[in-house]
Amino acid sequence: MDNNTPLTIESIITQYASYIYNLSLKLSANPDKAEDLAQETFIKAWANISAVKNEDAIKSWLRTICINEFRMMIRKEKRGAMGYAESMDELEHDGEFLVDPRPLPIDEVQVAEEVAKLRDGCFLAMTRKLTLNQRMVFSLIDMFGISINETSQILDLTPKAVKGLLYRARMNLESFFNDHCSFMDIHNPCQCTAWIEFMKDRNTFQEKLRQKKAYLDYQEKGYVHNPEAGRKMLYYYRNLPEQRPSQEWFDKIAALLYDPSSS
């Protein structure tokens, strides 16, 4: 942001709307909730904009607000399964197994646009099957590139515990996709093209996902890390396309900022 430009909520939204919306989307794994979460983040920012002293810290300030608003949203929903609490000792032990995967020289699979959308939607939806802490750590580190140390400060956890959560999140997702997704292995039973008809009715697809267990647990089936599958899984997550809030979202937040009675 230009230091000569007055700091206003309009300029902040213009510059950071897509970033905060995509963070909201990764955390909530739900487009409708993502718009609500991004909206609440900017409303809270607007109410506290006078507290901003360092314009270079706006991005991290907004990120913190967004994460806190997400936690509040989860508490209101009282979704116990998503709040599944791991043992701190076990997490710190698991953190010893975390290894940064080597970059994978993979060519993007060329597929029809509708299949690509389904694949990306499926990958995003499965993050909802992680425990709440696993989802937040995985989103912040593997989707947004935030460091382990900064994530530990945001979540008030030890770096070892954060590493343990990241290890579990990666293993849970890798375990699921390695056994199901044809993008991991062409011999797997799930073929995106078979879902296209179902996707004509979005609710059908969502119901299929809801029928799966509340959260993933790779330990239940004794899954052993597959480095190639793990690198593929992270490649697809890290390359999920960035999305932009709808024009209706911009119109609604503008109305709320200038006329709070419109909410």
% helix, strand, coil for the chain, step of 5: 70, 0, 30
CATH of the domain at 42: 1.10.1740.10
Assess if residue 140 is contained within a domain: yes
| 137/143 Cα distance (integer angstroms) | 9
Query: What is the number of domains present in the chain?
Result: 2
Assess if residue 249 is contained within a domain: no
Assess if residue 2 is contained within a domain: no
**β-bridge partners, 181:** 190
- CB of 124 within 8 A of CB of 240? yes
Q: Is the pLDDT of residue 23 over 90?
A: yes
Read off the pLDDT of residues 84-124 as tens digits, 9 standing for 90 and up.
567 889 999 999 999 888 766 655 555 567 677 777 888 88
| 116/219 Cα distance (integer angstroms) | 30
**Mean pLDDT across the chain:** 82
Last residue of a domain, one of 41, 56, 78: 78
| 233/130 Cα distance (integer angstroms) | 15
Q: Cα 36 from chain centroid?
A: 15
Residues 73 and 116 in one domain: no
Measuring CA to CA, which residue among 259, 172, 258, 240 is closest to residue 34? 240
Last residue of a domain, one of 24, 58, 78: 78
Per-residue pLDDT, 1: 47
Read off the pLDDT of residues 126-180 as tens digits, 9 standing for 90 and up.
898 899 899 999 999 999 999 999 999 999 999 999 999 999 999 999 998 888 8
Crossing angle of helices 58-77 and 31-47, in 10° steps, is 120
Structure-token match 């078979």, residue found: 194
Residues 59 and 167 in one domain: no
Residue type, 129: K
**String of DSSP letters for 229-252:** HHHHHHHHHHTPPP----HHHHHH
Residues 108 and 221 in one domain: yes
CB neighbour list of residue 84: distance below 8 Å, 6 or more residues apart: 131, 132, 215
Assess if residue 224 is contained within a domain: yes
Residues 216 and 94 in one domain: yes
Residues 44 and 124 in one domain: no
Assess if residue 256 is contained within a domain: no
Residues 42 and 115 in one domain: no
Measuring CA to CA, which residue among 169, 135, 148, 118 is closest to residue 23? 135
Residue type, 218: Y
Q: Which residues constitute the domain of residue 42?
A: 9-78
**CA distances to 109, 123, 165, 180 from 114, in Å:** 13, 14, 33, 19
Residues 103 and 21 in one domain: no
Assess if residue 258 is contained within a domain: no
80 pLDDT tier (thresholds 50, 70, 90): very low
Read off the pLDDT of residues 41-79 as tens digits, 9 standing for 90 and up.
999 998 888 777 777 889 999 999 999 999 999 888 765
Residues 193 and 126 in one domain: yes
Residues 133 and 205 in one domain: yes
Q: Which residue has the higher pLDDT, 59 or 213?
A: 59
Assess if residue 18 is contained within a domain: yes
Assess if residue 123 is contained within a domain: yes
Residues 35 and 91 in one domain: no
- CB of 129 within 8 A of CB of 212? yes
Residues 132 and 14 in one domain: no
On whether the pTM is more than 0.75, the answer is: yes
Last residue of a domain, one of 27, 49, 78: 78
Residues 53 and 158 in one domain: no
Read off the pLDDT of residues 225-234 as tens digits, 9 standing for 90 and up.
998 889 888 8
